[in-house]
Amino acid sequence: MALWYCRVCGLDYDYSPWGPNDDEPDYSICECCGAQFGIDDYTVSGAQAYRRQWLSTGSSWFYPKLQPADWQLEEQLAYVPEKYR
């Protein structure tokens, strides 16, 4: 199964919140950075701006109870799709 990675923070998902053709967002929220798919990551500049804001405020998980004990921010950010870095 292919993984999909958040355009803002690089969190991996086993489905694309942008739909099978990557063009129909479901407007759900990233569990990690809190970006709303289809809004905050609609454009490259939007995803980059949201990431800067998220990083500048401490990179807290939107749903803290879902944060893995061994979570590494830098490691996860490496999975942000290249176009959105």
- Quote the DSSP letter at residue 29: B
pLDDT (tens digit per residue) in 9-51: 999 999 999 988 888 999 999 999 999 999 999 999 999 999 9
Closest to 55 in 3D by CA, of 85, 31, 33 = 33
pLDDT (tens digit per residue) in 10-20: 999 999 999 88
What are the residues facing 31 on neighbouring strands?
Answer: none
